[in-house]
Amino acid sequence: MLFVIRPKINNVEYIADSTFSFFLGDTTGQRVKVIVTDFMKDNVFSEIEDQLRDLNIGVLGWIFFFIFLPKQMNSVNPYICLKSDFIFLFPQMCKIILPGMENREKGVIVNISSGVASIPFPLYTLYAASKVFVERFSQGLQAEYKDKGIIIQTVAPFGVSTRLAGYQSTNIVTLSPEDFVKSSLQYLRAGDKTHGSVCHIVLGWLLQSIPLKVLYSEIYIHIYPSPDREVTSDRI
């Protein structure tokens, strides 16, 4: 059975309705249950734990995005950005799921980070830092649980053509969601971190090879859109 935990947002009626469940079930061949919750509530994880109690959960895929437009730090509300992302939410879900996996001595946790966390990234400073947290947390957790038969891996892609990315045209760097998933699953046993595809692995290597002073040049900064636009949040 496939469980989808969806934040309570404006289009919750569409996400939680039977049509969505049927479509996802037909695609995966699994029964689907959608749990809609408000992640800003103090007791949200107690409610989730109650609904997942006594279930045999073997795979946890934790993806929690918000759209972060490039902005200078003095234009960003750090609390809103971090509250909206993994730092408060991601460890709690791992804590709920891990005891069952440990008892069964098997399980897989895949956490989605971002390629922008490969280096200190101007105008994405807070966003990139939150993704570094995801990577370090996952890597430390893998070291703790590797001998217990549990795989914990961070996948840090660059371009994937999703709704949050504006459905960019696919190319050698920007992958379709289907191609990204198929490719990244091939690297499931490749270590505690992967970029998920050959093209993104090469891109990550190139990014880390360029001197930071080049990346931080005025020309580099000015290729980004105007930082005057507001940060918006849209989580999936």
Q: Are residues 133 and 101 in the same domain?
A: yes
Residue positions annotated with a catalytic role: 127
Q: Are residues 74 and 146 in the same domain?
A: yes
What's the pLDDT band for 61 if we cut at 50, 70, 90? confident
Q: Are residues 131 and 78 in the same domain?
A: yes
Q: Are residues 102 and 209 in the same domain?
A: yes
User: Residue with structure tokens 């809609």?
Assistant: 36
pLDDT value of position 67:
56
Estimate to the nearest angstrom the gap between the alpha carbon of 190 and the chain centroid.
18
Q: What is the pLDDT of residues 99-154, one digit of tens each?
A: 999 999 999 999 888 998 888 877 778 888 888 988 999 999 999 999 999 999 99
Lowest mean pLDDT among 14-28, 59-73, 189-203: 14-28
Nearest-angstrom CA–CA distance, 98 and 96: 6
Are 113 and 64 in contact by the 8 Å Cβ rule? The answer is: no
Q: Are residues 51 and 77 in the same domain?
A: no
Q: Are residues 156 and 124 in the same domain?
A: yes
- The count of domains in the chain is 2
Q: What is the pLDDT of residues 114-124, one digit of tens each?
A: 998 888 877 77
**Residue that terminates a domain, selected from 10, 30, 55:** 55
Residue 61 lies in a domain: no
Q: Are residues 30 and 131 in the same domain?
A: no
Nearest-angstrom CA–CA distance, 108 and 138: 12
Q: Are residues 47 and 73 in the same domain?
A: no
pLDDT value of position 159:
86
Q: Are residues 205 and 90 in the same domain?
A: yes
What's the pLDDT band for 16 if we cut at 50, 70, 90? very low
Q: Are residues 84 and 44 in the same domain?
A: no
pTM of the model: 0.76
Q: Are residues 74 and 177 in the same domain?
A: yes
Q: Is the Cα torsion angle 22, 28, 31, 33 positive or negative in sign? A: negative
Q: Are residues 82 and 142 in the same domain?
A: yes
CATH at residue 111: 3.40.50.720
**Domain ranges, residue 83:** 67-222
pLDDT value of position 64:
57
